[in-house]
Amino acid sequence: MATWFISDLHLEPARPDSMQTLLAFLTYIEGRVDALYILGDFFEYWIGDDVLDTPAGAALKPIVQALRALRESGVPLYFLHGNRDFLIGETFAQRSGCELLPEQQVIDLYGTPTLIMHGDSLCTDDVAYQQARQLFRDPAWQAEVMQLSIPDRLERAQAMRLESQASNQAKDEQIMDVNAQAVAGVMRAHSVRHLIHGHTHRPAVHQFELDGQPAQRVVLGDWYQQGSFVRVDQQGLELLDDFR
């Protein structure tokens, strides 16, 4: 038995291979998992839970149903919002069986207090992104978006994705990574020496010192080219690119 973490799947119907990989993963871990944590950017974009009841959301229903089946088998499922799926709400949570968690959550991993988060708030050198993030997390802005029709929301989401891609291509790679002081600050705030996050698409296990004590930061990769998984059990932690 183990606890699994995934992040940055960026699921969308245009990339059916990643959706099939997820379905295979969910089937594989059933019966051998203590809990599953999804650390954001599960979807390439999410325009609101009401999309599930429209033709635009039909291709996503097998994912929701597979999550629900895993939950009904007795596996706790937890979901943290990312910067692509911040509009996921209680309807999705109820249908999928996922429990929505706050942006930062400390969990007990077999006796080790561990902070989990999506990770985008740690990229403080990217000032333009942090300003956009603040807007997207604003309840008033979200309410305004949800007043739009589904086709209009879909058009806006696709436009925002293209704008983000163009903006990122013009940025220095370094500013899109986490800031070391931000990492140390959030770990001190939660009194932990272990952190798991995604967002940067730079899978790695970083060992460092925090206030004179050994610390660890584990980064999940994305699912554009292959999978990325963190598996933790009583013996320790593994960062994997295949779940089998």
Domains and CATH numbers, the chain: 2-122+177-240 (3.60.21.10)
Is the pLDDT at 139 greater than 90, yes or no? yes
Six token digits for residue 100 = 């929505």
- Residue scoring higher pLDDT (165 or 154): 154
Is the pLDDT at 171 greater than 80, yes or no? no
- Closest among 11, 16, 22 to 229, alpha carbons compared: 22
DSSP3 helix / strand / coil % (the chain, rounded to 5): 40, 25, 35
| pTM of the predicted model over 0.85 | yes
Measured CA distances, 31 to 73, 242, 243 (Å): 8, 18, 14
Contact assessment for residue 203 and residue 219, using Cβ atoms and an 8 Å cutoff: yes
Mean pLDDT throughout 7-13? 95
pLDDT category, 35, cuts 50, 70, 90? very high
pLDDT of residue 173: 78
179-200 confidence digits (pLDDT tens): 999 999 999 999 999 999 999 9
Strand ordering across the sheet containing 236-240: 98-100, 77-79, 33-38, 2-6, 229-233, 236-240
Mean pLDDT throughout 90-107? 97
pLDDT of residue 175: 86
Mean pLDDT throughout 128-132? 93
